[in-house]
Amino acid sequence: MKKALVVDDAEANRMVLGAILTKLDLSVEYAEDGDEAIHKFLQLQPDVVFMDHIMPTKNGADALREMKDHNKNFIGFLMSAYSDPDEIKIIFEFSCAEEFISKPIEFGKIQLLMKKYGIIS
């Protein structure tokens, strides 16, 4: 079973995305901020990481970049409710994420991304 790490400081967002990933047959772990995410990432070595950008202690772009410094063999998604395309582009490029996901999260969008990156068939 593939492993996913969901990182968001908002519990409701974690639970919604976790339910989607569980329905897609992934094992899901959670973190509430960037520092906790890096700690869990190093322990779990997940196949895929969903990272909110704006969080306490360390933002999502910094945390994903640090994870990629440790291990490049995972798929990283940066998530945000930002709508400014220029700001999104700058944050996305810095983060080393494979994709940027705009909130709110939708089942169909997540399912397509999981298929695109070979996480599910």
Q: What is the mean pLDDT of each run of 10 residues along the chain (121 residues)?
A: 98 98 99 97 98 92 94 95 76 83 94 98 93
Residue carrying structure tokens 């940066």: 78
Residue carrying structure tokens 């994709």: 99
* pTM: predicted TM-score of the whole model, two decimal places: 0.93
Residue 90 lies in a domain: yes
pLDDT at 82: 73
Structure tokens at 97: 């994420």
pLDDT at 85: 77
| CB-neighbour burial class of residue 79 (10 A; exposed 0-12, middle 13-18, buried 19+) | buried
Residue 121 lies in a domain: no
Domain assignment of residue 28, given as a range: 3-116
pLDDT at 73: 94
CATH number at residue 15: 3.40.50.2300
pLDDT at 70: 94
Three-class DSSP category at 1: coil
Residue 73 lies in a domain: yes
pLDDT at 38: 97
